[in-house]
Amino acid sequence: LVNNAGIIKRIPMEEMAVEDFRRVVDVDLIAPYICAKAVIPGMIKKGHGKIINICSMMSELGRETVSAYAAAKGGLKMLTRNICSEYGEYNIQCNGIGPGYIATDQTAPLREIQPDGSRHPFDQFIISKTPAARWGTPEDLMGPAVFLASDASDFVNGHVLYVDGGILAYIGKQPK
């Protein structure tokens, strides 16, 4: 099982309607719970299984305007660890992938070249905070997903593999 569905609403917390917050939590946390709950009995019966939750580096970091997303992804990280704790004895591995900023259609507006030819301010920010100095690509997530789905990860359980170009490890450049 790969729990990959997710949404984000970039709205300041005091402006976000409770319904919008709930919608993000429903898609990003409750849906993976429902899907995992549905497949775990069959995995127990087979004697093995793999669950990969697409968490986010926002399960580790906070940032303005993404309170619902960060809360849901933090919850998904903990759900990952708890599934490991409850079902590891049945040879079920539950791990997460924590993507950093990935160049997708959803993030395209944040990477648009400005009318004056400069980079979008958020794009500049991400490039400056990522040691790899680039956005990730969907292809960057393929190897980690294959590893976590394969027998090579049979003793890896409850782990979130951050695929973020090093952003979580980096405090930033020292001012000159």
CATH value at residue 23: 3.40.50.720
- 55 to each of 14, 67, 69, 173, how far by Cα in Å? 24, 15, 10, 27
Q: What amino acid positions are annotated as catalytic residues?
A: 69
Which residues of the chain fall below pLDDT 70? none
* Domain of 140, in residue numbers: 2-169
pLDDT at site 175: 75
Considering the domain boundaries, does residue 175 fall inside one? no
Question: How many independent structural domains does the chain possess?
Answer: 1
Considering the domain boundaries, does residue 129 fall inside one? yes
pTM of the model: 0.93
Cα–Cα distance, 141 to 104 (Å, whole number) = 12
pLDDT at site 172: 80
Considering the domain boundaries, does residue 87 fall inside one? yes
Considering the domain boundaries, does residue 97 fall inside one? yes
pLDDT at site 173: 79
